[in-house]
Structure 1
Amino acid sequence: MRTLVLSVILLFSTLSVFAQTNQIKELEKKRKLALREIENTTLLLDQTKKSTSTLLNRISMLSEQINSRQQVISLLGQEINAITKQQTITEGEIKDLEIKLKDQQKSYAKAMESVVLKKQGMNKLLFILSGKSLSESLRRMKYLKDYSDWRNQQIIDIREKQETLREKRESLQKSKADKLALLSSREIEQSNLQKEEETHKKEVDDAGKKQKELQDILSTKQKQADNLNAQIEKLIAQEVARQEREARRLAKEKARREAAAKRKAEAEAKRKAASEKSTATTTKPETKTESRTEPDKDTSVPEVEEVSTSTKVVVTKENFALSSNFAANKGKLPVPVTGTYSIVGRFGTHQHSKFRVTTNNGGIDIQAKAGAQARAVFGGEVTRVVAFPGYNNCIIVRHGGYYTFYGNIQQISVKQGQKVTAGQALGQIYTDSDTGSSQLHFQLWQGTTKLNPEPWLKR
């Protein structure tokens, strides 16, 4: 009974350790991701020259870096706690195994002692032959064989428990070493966090000293952003209207084809009825009737089509498929830049109370490495390639009822009307030679409704 209880306890302990191990691996994965984001931001900060025009971006990147560093420290704490729990479980397993092994060794030693005493009084052959009948001798032979098998199995079980015990002890030692390493890493990360917070404070103080310049920069950028948003809204409205006109044309063409087919069917029915009447009348000479039907029209034009005026999105077979697939990939779309990146401007209205300026961002601004490419986040068609003041070349890609906008591109790699695939390069992002800053402005629209792109991207 005691052995059974110990076996059950050992089973539950093993399952608990397995769960803890998976948790530790998941925490380690998240920590490495946060550390990679810190490395990316550090690289972009080093690449961006310190100037008044880049000061706010640098502050934003430092804030991202601090948030990532705090996340790393938090994850390290969770890993340490998970390892501590794992150690407690492993120590309990070792204790149970030691008890179980000790009991089994005692049982085996006692059995061996009994065998030795019996051997002194009688050998195996005499024991078998001394049976009162043949069947009893055969039972004694089987008993001796079963007993020998039991002894061999006991030896195997004891050796397996000894090996398991050795592995558990090694695992415990390794987890202790891992815990010490994590504690050391946490101290280093806390020191890095303190330095970054000091740097951030210094940059903010510098921004305070240059309040007038920054206020002018923010005001200028907001005017450019307002103009851009108005132009994008106009372009997308035009594109949606163009699709609606095309849908109406296709709908009219479909209605015309259906009406022609109906007229043809009616004429054919009349001709057939007249023919049957002529055949049935024997007193009158047979007369031939001829009905004129309009020639068949080309029916190769694709079907659809329905226009949804409430959402201003054209519902076609192609659009429906693209829109459905696009919506299904929310949170899975690739970031629209290649290589290292950091989001330095977020969607929505932001109050800069220190500079008495309110900014409204219609999308997100992504700091990238010099030479990085803007890339399509999903398959679609390039509907516009235009230039806007402050945003260089810009591209709009249609994905059914959704649109993505890519601004501040230096060298265009696609043309209007071209089909693109997810991840395809659209052009090289513009790099300011004075500041070293390479930023892509990215927007997402559903029909004529502006959306926050960030939740749609895979991070």
Structure 2
Amino acid sequence: MKFTKPTYFSLITLLLLCILNTNAQSKKQQELEERRQEILKEINQYNQLISSNKKKEKSIVTVVEDLNYKVKVRQNLIKVTNDQANLLSREINTNQKEISHLRDQLKDLKEDYAAMVVKSYKSKSEQSRVMFLLSSENFKQAYKRLQYIRQYTKYQEQQGEEIKNKTQKLQELNTSLLQQKKDKDRLIQENRLAKAKLEEDMKEHQALVASIKKDLSKYTSQIKTKQQEVDKIDREIERLIREAIAEANRKALAEANKNGNTNTKETKASSSGFALTPEAKILAANFESNKGKFSWPVEKGIVKTRFGTQPSPIDPSLTIKSNGVRIATEEGSKVRVVFEGTVSAVIAIKNSNPAVLIEHGNYFTVYKNLSKVYVKKGDKVSTKQVIGEVFTSSNGETILSFSIYKVDSKNSEYQDPSGWIYKM
């Protein structure tokens, strides 16, 4: 089978595109599998937390939150598994096309090879080859004929090797195809189970919401009260941050006056700006450069409430503002610093559990709802250092509220921790 140059280059281009596409699909499949395993791990952690608190009576709000969480996580799992199955379908189709293409190539190669074998058999005797050489008109022609014989023999060997390689590749693709089909069947089965569990959760959720409607005003009032308490703590934290800024600015101004440098922007004290020392600037830069790499503030946990404004799980007409994340963890869990810094304040508000505010240059991290605190204001803390223990409520909930706050001359605000903490 002969190929013209344009056809040859077209085939090479097509082959390269197939390889690139296969690699991209494999990478995507790996990413999806990693995400699926993360979700399964999250579900497992959640089940462990639920199991450890089975004997403790939970509030209606907590039960609804738990069900909401279960529904969302299972929906994510189903979506990721569907994406995996769809991607596998595309990979299977690609492999089937490749197998069909290889079979056609193999058929042509075998036909060509068979024709060569027959031709070679008819003129295989040494005498025929010798006569072919001796019948040359001159030495140059004899040399060319000898080269032809050698090239023809080499070509036969190459064709045989190519048939062997194509056959092996075909076998590998067939094996891969069978495995992909098994993987797809497994994913489909897992999705069926996940959907069945999701339906159970949805029914339970609907029944619970229906029962809540009878006393909706009561639960709405509880949610509003809880939000007011959260807002009160956040206001106190923001006040303490402003104090820390003012104190840092005073120190910077005093240092500048001492050195005879009073006109720089960096030393100008203001409530909106933050005059950082050289060390604090380095710390802030390091904090920022590690965005997305921080360890979790607890060793094990799941995010029950994410950052931002969101509808209440009890009454969707109500909105809940979350300046951080609420992480459910095990009873007795230790609280760890996500990055080195200095304890700016240990906050104790009436009717609320203690919180710790840690300064990292112009960034602050906040750890709320602690039962024990192991540090005091001014302490230097290192990454992953234990600073306290998470409070466990009477209904068995162990929730750490965690926030990140950035001070900026233009726009000081809370940050979404999921963008800073690794795989949150």
Shorter-chain TM-score bucket reads 0.7 to 0.9
Of stretches 124-133 and 376-385 in structure 1, the one that deviates more from structure 2 is: 124-133
Aligned residue identity for 1:82? L
The aligned runs of 1:30-179 (5 Å cut-off) are 30-49=35-54, 54-119=59-124, 122-179=127-184
- Once the two structures are superposed, what CA deviation does each residue of 1:385-429 show, in whole Å capped at 9, x if it has no partner? 243334333211001112222122223233332222233221121
Contact kept? 2:242, 2:271, Cα under 8 Å: no
1:442 to 385, 390, 402: 402
Measure, in 1, the Cα distance between the counterparts of 2:269 and 2:311. Answer: 34
Contact kept? 2:337, 2:384, Cα under 8 Å: yes
SS at match of 1:315: coil
**Partner residue in 2 for 1:431:** 392
SS at match of 1:441: strand
**Partner residue in 1 for 2:371:** 410
Contact kept? 2:68, 2:313, Cα under 8 Å: no
Match status 1:370 vs 2:375? no
Measure, in 1, the Cα distance between the counterparts of 2:368 and 2:402. Answer: 6
Aligned residue identity for 2:417? E
Q: TM-score, normalised by structure 2?
A: 0.86
Match status 1:189 vs 2:194? yes
Structure 2, unpaired ranges of 5+: none
Percent of aligned pairs sharing the same letter: 26
Measure, in 2, the Cα distance between the counterparts of 1:354 and 1:119. Answer: 91
**Partner residue in 1 for 2:236:** 231
- Once the two structures are superposed, what CA deviation does each residue of 1:257-298 show, in whole Å capped at 9, x if it has no partner? x9xxxxxxxxxxxxxxxxxxxxxxxxxxxxxxxxxxxxxxxx
Aligned residue identity for 1:454? P
- Once the two structures are superposed, what CA deviation does each residue of 1:316-368 show, in whole Å capped at 9, x if it has no partner? 32232333333444444333222122323754586688499776544432221
Of stretches 365-374 and 152-161 in structure 1, the one that deviates more from structure 2 is: 365-374
Aligned residue identity for 1:451? Y
SS at match of 2:59: helix
1:323 to 253, 260, 284: 284
Contact kept? 2:367, 2:401, Cα under 8 Å: yes
Aligned residue identity for 2:406? Q
- Once the two structures are superposed, what CA deviation does each residue of 1:232-281 show, in whole Å capped at 9, x if it has no partner? 2332222222212211211111118x9xxxxxxxxxxxxxxxxxxxxxxx
**Partner residue in 2 for 1:296:** none
Contact kept? 1:382, 1:420, Cα under 8 Å: yes
Alpha-carbon distance change, 356 to 26 in structure 1, aligned in 2, over 3 angstroms: closer
SS at match of 1:384: strand
Measure, in 1, the Cα distance between the counterparts of 2:18 and 2:227. Answer: 60
Shift of 1:200: 2.2
Measure, in 2, the Cα distance between the counterparts of 1:132 and 1:53. Answer: 104
Number of positions where the alignment pairs a residue of Structure 1 with one of Structure 2: 413
Alpha-carbon distance change, 128 to 221 in structure 1, aligned in 2, over 3 angstroms: same
SS at match of 1:131: coil
- Provide the alpha-carbon RMSD of the alignment: 3.1
SS at match of 2:364: strand
Measure, in 2, the Cα distance between the counterparts of 1:342 and 1:62. Answer: 13
Contact kept? 1:392, 1:407, Cα under 8 Å: yes
Shift of 1:156: 0.7
1:248 to 253, 266, 277: 253
Measure, in 1, the Cα distance between the counterparts of 2:201 and 2:314. Answer: 23
Contact kept? 1:382, 1:396, Cα under 8 Å: yes
Measure, in 1, the Cα distance between the counterparts of 2:316 and 2:29. Answer: 45
1:379 to 316, 319, 340: 340
Shift of 1:164: 0.8
Contact kept? 1:224, 1:389, Cα under 8 Å: no
Of stretches 312-321 and 67-76 in structure 1, the one that deviates more from structure 2 is: 312-321
SS at match of 1:382: strand
SS at match of 2:152: helix
Measure, in 2, the Cα distance between the counterparts of 1:331 and 1:424. Answer: 19
Match status 1:454 vs 2:414? no
Structure 1, unpaired ranges of 5+: 259-302
Of stretches 390-399 and 223-232 in structure 1, the one that deviates more from structure 2 is: 223-232
**Partner residue in 2 for 1:265:** none
Measure, in 2, the Cα distance between the counterparts of 1:417 and 1:178. Answer: 55
Q: TM-score, normalised by structure 1?
A: 0.80
Measure, in 1, the Cα distance between the counterparts of 2:24 and 2:243. Answer: 55
**Partner residue in 2 for 1:283:** none
Match status 1:218 vs 2:223? yes
Shift of 1:147: 1.6
